């Protein structure tokens, strides 16, 4: 099967990303409509219907996951749901509603489909050594014929929140194609299967704030996460079935580290800092 040519209208949108959307994803009947060919693991475009409501969604069955040597425990689907739960705990709503459920090909992740707004510029290649007003530098990039350009991302508060979120969940694959701005002005991140590793694997395009002080908003959110991640905390209880105890401990340690340093993390030296390909 191939991805559909056109996404049909639906009655539940990502802007209604609350309990109703999650309930629809968890309880509704999944119907496979096509396969998303760009995905490295099995990713199916579906519709989900329940009690007269319908929405488009992505279903990634565990049976379609390719084993990864550096993520030997748990499942990619479980990590995707764990990322959603952390996003919800921040109050920022950076990940579309996501649940773990049974489907036509067994247990898997089911996530509300996000339709990206055309023309939203979050990444760019520019000439010169400085990014210019409204942009943050990522680093040089080869553009062919021996030429290089400066890869930049927008100096956007939505991206800055996502950079903090990625540092918390230890996202090893924040590419440009995983950033979905909507017509309503929201920004969502998707594809969180390679997250929560107990070792430092942060690999992202969002390095523009590296070393800069965290915002007061971010510090407040991190304080809330620290409270929610105590041994008896509500977020710890939610994450326990999804990732390992060592990964929960590491998440807690990353939150503590961010609060202690008070700055956005800098790229490490033991792991490629920028994903390839970047988009």
H-run or E-run covering 53: strand 53-61
The two three-digit tokens of residue 105, written as one number: 């090909």
Report the pLDDT averaged over residues 204-212: 96
166/236 Cα distance (integer angstroms) = 18
Q: Are 232 and 238 in contact (CB under 8 A)?
A: no
| DSSP at 91 | T
* Predicted confidence (pLDDT) at residue 85 exceeds the cutoff of 70: yes
Q: What is the DSSP letter of 267?
A: P
Token pair in block for residue 201? 């694997």
Distance CA 13, CA 49 (A): 13
Between 8-17, 125-134, 257-266, the lowest mean confidence (pLDDT) is in 8-17
Distance CA 218, CA 262 (A): 9
CA distance 279 to 277: 6
Q: What is the pLDDT of residue 18?
A: 60
Backbone angles phi, psi at 180, to 5 degrees: -125, 95
pLDDT tens per residue, range 189-202: 999 999 999 999 99
pLDDT at 142: 74
pLDDT at 14: 44
pLDDT of 11: 44
Model confidence, pTM: 0.91
Structure tokens at 240: 């326990």
Q: What is the pLDDT of residues 47-83, one digit of tens each?
A: 999 988 899 999 999 999 988 888 888 899 999 999 9
The Cα–Cα gap between 171 and 193 comes to: 9
Secondary structure of 59-105 in the HEC alphabet?
Answer: EEEHHHCCCCCCCCCCCHHHHHHHHHHHHHHHCCCCCCCEEEEEECC
* pLDDT reported for residue 59: 97
Residue with more model confidence, 19 or 68: 68
């Amino acid at each position: 099967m191939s991805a559909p040519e056109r996404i049909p209208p639906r009655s539940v949108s990502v802007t209604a990303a609350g309990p109703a959307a999650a309930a629809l994803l968890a309880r509704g009947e999944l119907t496979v409509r096509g396969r998303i060919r760009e995905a490295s693991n099995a990713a199916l475009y579906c519709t989900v219907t329940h009690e007269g409501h319908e929405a488009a969604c992505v279903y990634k069955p565990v049976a379609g996951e390719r084993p990864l040597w550096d993520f030997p425990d748990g499942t990619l689907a479980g990590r995707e749901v764990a990322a959603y739960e952390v996003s919800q705990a921040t109050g920022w709503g950076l990940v579309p509603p996501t649940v773990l459920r049974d489907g036509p090909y067994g247990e898997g992740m089911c996530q509300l489909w996000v339709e990206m707004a055309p023309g939203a510029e979050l990444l760019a290649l520019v000439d010169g050594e400085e990014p210019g007003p409204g942009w943050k530098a990522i680093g040089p990039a080869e553009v062919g014929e021996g030429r290089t350009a400066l890869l930049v991302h927008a100096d956007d508060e939505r991206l800055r929140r996502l950079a903090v979120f990625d540092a918390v969940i230890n996202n090893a694959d924040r590419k440009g194609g995983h950033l979905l701005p909507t017509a309503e002005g929201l920004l969502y991140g998707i594809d969180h299967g390679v997250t929560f590793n107990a070792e430092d694997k942060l690999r992202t395009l969002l390095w523009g704030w590296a070393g800069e002080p965290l915002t007061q908003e971010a510090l407040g959110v991190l304080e809330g996460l620290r409270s929610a991640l105590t041994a008896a905390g509500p977020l710890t209880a939610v994450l326990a079935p999804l990732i390992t105890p060592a990964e929960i401990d590491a998440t807690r340690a990353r939150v503590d580290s961010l609060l202690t340093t008070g700055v956005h993390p800098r790229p490490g030296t033991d792991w490629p800092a920028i994903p390839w390909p970047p988009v």
